[in-house]
């Protein structure tokens, strides 16, 4: 470890850099070189206790929840500027640790900026108080911050995912503890520096990188009122059950297996510019990726003739080099997982149209971008989230069947419908049970409500709907008139 970088000696607890309770450190390994890049301190349960106590005190007694929403909005604006001021450090650091190409890292961080800017004006759109009248009575409906919030995020876009939670939580007047994943936590410590520089009152935010067990301790903590989690459906299920023990509020943003439905009338050159990258972006490690492509049976070969050359021409390589479109997947276990699904797909009888191997690289956790054709909806590769650059092309015989296939998984996060007639496309989109769906395009729109149907999650993030996840509603009843 002597020639590697020590990013931080301390943890960010209650707005201050504090010596950790143990000397445990998280080693960060490069997915490109497979060498240790450096380390950050690992939080333990005693650090969680300190952070929850600080957040509790700041919520119960401090100024933050008592400031006006507009005053908090000004702080949000300052945080956004401080975050953006650190892009030169954050963007390459995320690329180095996770292997996402620089352009992707830039786009993720730009999303983070948008979330802070959006949070700065949320109070102008949200209703924190309103008069209510009913038969025989009148009163006030007030929306109050839910309390101490624990946020847990994965590694695939940490600053953006953290901002999507912390910005509305702070705008609501909550206090927050962030637990980033042990893979690639450095940029979240840079986010902590930005929060510190913007000047939040004592106790309001903590950032504690740690693993799963410490995460369970945090979500089970009696001092935590609300949990906002992004990650796998398996972990979400566990976290929801832990929250259930004490009826803690919970928002879940989980996995996906999103479908693109291509109608029979639309030329492929109107489809592929958005469809193709939506399958392999960030090596497929995006929850909303379009990993199932549903195509009329008679158009499958036409689609493959157009899509395979795109996949085969992708610049795969070092994500730190400008122009690279596909880097490695983030971790060795992630590559093992993707490769095991490629084997499963072959055994299930799907046909590899391209990819399926490791590219010729000396080092790094690379997987060739892979297209399976002739996939049936009952196959595991059509049902389970792979989280790698692997898409399944599923032929269908009617739009009704396509809708049934699109709805035929446990997930419902994103999707797309491609049809020449946008009215027909909208009618199809309305039948797909999913949180966001594009017409003749695909986008993860994070400044509008984002979240999942079914096992893709619970609740919404983004905009006033996301703010609502951090508010409780109280009716104050006035005494009867005279
Ligand atoms: P993961 O669920 O293994 O881990 C995510 C985070 O949860 C990490 O910080 C981890 O330490 C923590 N964690 C895991 N188990 C926990 C437990 N029992 N208690 C408390 N904390 C726990 O997921 P991952 O492999 O890091 O990330 C990939 C997954 O995240 C994919 O399924 C992807 O679809 C999902 N994801 C969803 C969204 C969304 O908005 N819906 C966004 C990004 C990623």
- Residue 38 has which token pair? 């450096």
Q: Quote the DSSP letter at residue 479.
A: P
- Residue 394 has which token pair? 């599923």
In this prediction, residue 3 has a pLDDT band, given cuts at 50, 70 and 90, of very low
Compute the average pLDDT of residues 315-325: 96
d(CA 331, CA 144): 41
Compute the average pLDDT of residues 212-218: 98
* Residue 76: burial class (beta carbons within 10 Å; 0-12, 13-18, 19+): buried
Cβ atoms 37, 5 nearer than 8 A: yes
Span 166-181, pLDDT tens digits: 999 999 999 999 999 9
Q: Which residues contact 196 (CB under 8 A, 6 or more apart)?
A: 12, 15, 16, 17
Span 344-390, pLDDT tens digits: 999 999 999 999 999 999 999 999 999 999 999 999 999 999 999 99
Q: Interior CA angle at 258 toward 231 and 286, to 5°? A: 45
Ligand 1 site-directed mutation target among 40, 181, 213, 231, most atoms within 8 Å of CB? 231
Cβ atoms 405, 377 nearer than 8 A: yes
Q: Is 181 in the pocket of ligand 1 (CB under 6 A)?
A: yes
For the CA of 164, the nearest atom of ligand 1: 40
Superfamily of domain 11-254+456-475: Aldehyde Dehydrogenase; Chain A, domain 1 (3.40.605.10)
- Tell me, what's the pLDDT at 2? 37
Q: Is 73 in the pocket of ligand 1 (CB under 6 A)?
A: no
d(CA 368, CA 316): 8
Q: Which residues contact 135 (CB under 8 A, 6 or more apart)?
A: none
CATH assignment of 258-446, among 3.30.450.40, 3.40.309.10, 3.50.50.60, 3.30.70.270: 3.40.309.10
Compute the average pLDDT of residues 237-257: 98
Span 274-296, pLDDT tens digits: 999 999 999 999 999 999 999 99
Q: Is 223 in the pocket of ligand 1 (CB under 6 A)?
A: no
For the CA of 179, the nearest atom of ligand 1: 9
**Residue ranges of the chain assigned to CATH 3.40.309.10:** 258-446
Query: Is pLDDT above 80 for 28?
Result: yes
How is the beta sheet containing 226-230 ordered, strand by strand?
Answer: 16-18, 11-13, 205-207, 175-179, 148-152, 226-230, 249-253, 457-458
Q: Could you tell me the pTM of the whole model?
A: 0.96
For 374-403, b/e burial (b = at least 16 CB within 10 A) is: bbebebebbebbbbbbbbbbbbbeebebbb
Compute the average pLDDT of residues 443-460: 96
* Residue 308: burial class (beta carbons within 10 Å; 0-12, 13-18, 19+): middle
The chain-wide mean pLDDT, for the chain, equals 96
H-type alpha helices, 28-157: 45-61, 69-85, 87-98, 102-125
For the CA of 218, the nearest atom of ligand 1: 20
Q: Is 253 in the pocket of ligand 1 (CB under 6 A)?
A: yes
**Residue ranges of the chain assigned to CATH 3.40.605.10:** 11-254+456-475
- Residue 178 has which token pair? 């962030």
**Gyration radius from the chain CA atoms:** 23
Cβ atoms 91, 124 nearer than 8 A: no
Compute the average pLDDT of residues 73-81: 97
Q: How far is CA 335 from the centre of its chain?
A: 20
- 348-351 contact pairs (CB < 8 A, 24+): 348/376, 348/379, 348/380, 348/381, 349/374, 349/376, 349/379, 350/374, 350/375, 350/376, 350/379, 350/381, 350/392
- Tell me, what's the pLDDT at 481? 75
- The strand pair at 457-458 and 258-262 is best described as unpaired
In this prediction, residue 6 has a pLDDT band, given cuts at 50, 70 and 90, of low
Residue 366 Cα to ligand 1 midpoint, Å, equals 21
Span 411-448, pLDDT tens digits: 999 999 999 999 999 999 999 999 999 999 999 898 99
Catalytic residue set: 253, 287
Q: Is 239 in the pocket of ligand 1 (CB under 6 A)?
A: yes
In this prediction, residue 4 has a pLDDT band, given cuts at 50, 70 and 90, of low
For the CA of 157, the nearest atom of ligand 1: 43
Q: Which residues contact 335 (CB under 8 A, 6 or more apart)?
A: 328, 329, 365, 366, 367, 388
């Amino acid at each position: 470890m002597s020639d590697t970088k020590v990013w931080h000696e301390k943890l960010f607890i209650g707005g201050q850099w504090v010596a950790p309770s143990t000397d445990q450190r998280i080693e960060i390994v490069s997915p490109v070189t497979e060498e240790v890049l450096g380390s950050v301190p690992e939080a333990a349960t005693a650090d969680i206790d300190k952070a929850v106590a600080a957040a509790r005190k700041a919520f119960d007694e401090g100024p933050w929840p008592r400031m006006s929403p507009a005053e908090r909005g000004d702080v949000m604006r300052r945080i956004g500027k401080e975050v953006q001021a650190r892009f030169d450090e954050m963007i390459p650091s995320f690329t180095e640790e996770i292997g996402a190409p620089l352009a992707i890292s830039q786009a993720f961080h730009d999303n983070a900026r948008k979330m802070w800017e959006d949070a700065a004006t949320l109070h102008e759109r949200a209703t924190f108080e309103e008069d209510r009248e009913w038969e025989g009575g009148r009163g006030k409906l007030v929306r109050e911050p839910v309390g101490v919030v624990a946020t847990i995020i994965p590694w695939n876009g940490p600053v953006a995912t953290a901002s999507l939670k912390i910005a509305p939580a702070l705008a609501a007047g909550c206090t927050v503890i962030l637990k980033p994943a042990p893979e690639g936590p450095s940029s979240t410590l840079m986010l902590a520096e930005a929060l510190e520089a913007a000047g939040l009152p004592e106790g309001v935010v903590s950032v504690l990188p740690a693993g799963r067990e410490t995460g369970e301790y945090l979500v089970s903590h009696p001092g935590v009122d609300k949990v906002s989690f992004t990650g796998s459906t398996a972990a979400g299920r566990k976290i929801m059950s832990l929250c259930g023990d004490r009826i803690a509020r919970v928002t879940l943003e989980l996995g996906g297996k999103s479908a693109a439905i291509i109608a029979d009338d639309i030329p492929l050159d109107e489809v592929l510019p958005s469809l193709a990258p939506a399958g392999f972006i960030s090596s497929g490690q995006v929850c909303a990726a379009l990993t199932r492509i549903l195509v009329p049976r008679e158009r499958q070969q036409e689609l493959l003739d157009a899509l395979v050359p795109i996949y085969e021409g992708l610049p795969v390589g070092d994500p730190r080099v400008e122009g690279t479109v596909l880097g490695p997947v983030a971790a060795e276990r992630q590559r093992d997982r993707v490769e095991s699904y490629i084997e499963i797909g072959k055994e299930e009888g799907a046909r590899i149209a391209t990819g399926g191997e490791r590219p010729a690289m000396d080092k790094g956790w690379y997987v060739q971008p892979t297209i399976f054709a002739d996939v049936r909806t009952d196959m595991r590769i059509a049902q389970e989230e792979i989280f790698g650059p692997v898409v399944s092309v599923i032929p269908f015989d009617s739009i009704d069947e396509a809708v049934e296939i699109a709805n035929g998984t446990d997930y419902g996060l994103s999707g797309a419908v491609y049809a020449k007639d946008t009215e027909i496309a909208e009618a199809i989109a309305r039948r797909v049970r999913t949180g966001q769906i594009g017409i003749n395009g695909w986008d993860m729109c994070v400044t509008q409500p984002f979240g999942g149907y079914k096992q893709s999650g619970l609740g919404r993030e983004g905009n006033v709907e996301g703010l609502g996840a951090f508010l409780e509603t109280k009716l104050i009843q006035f005494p009867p008139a005279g």
